[in-house]
Amino acid sequence: ITRAERGCAIYYEGSFVEVKGFEVSVADTVGAGDAFAAAFLHGLNEGWTMEQVGKFANAAGALVASRAGATPEWTLDECLALSRSSAVGA
């Protein structure tokens, strides 16, 4: 379940985890959920922990929301850098 800057809640294979989100200056929320979903599936495919998957997906959604347009440009390096920074949502 996505919760904007408050992060996400994940129930997977019998385990529940809450992952904090990122506060960004929102320019346009269109596409943020799609970016989250794509990043989430990427993390699952890579075999990451749910905490890693959630943090990466939250970062992708935040990056897209911070830029105008439904498909703004961003790089994997930007997303990874944000996902490794301190999350703030509760």
Model confidence, pTM: 0.91
Exposure of 38 by Cβ count < 10 A (0-12 exposed, 13-18 middle, 19+ buried)? middle
**Tokens matching residue 1:** 């379940």
Q: What is the pLDDT of residues 7-20, one digit of tens each?
A: 999 999 999 999 99
Closest CA to 8 of 26, 22, 20: 20
What is the 8-class DSSP label of residue 12?
Answer: E
What is the 8-class DSSP label of residue 11?
Answer: E
Q: What is the pLDDT of residues 22-47, one digit of tens each?
A: 999 999 999 999 999 999 999 999 99
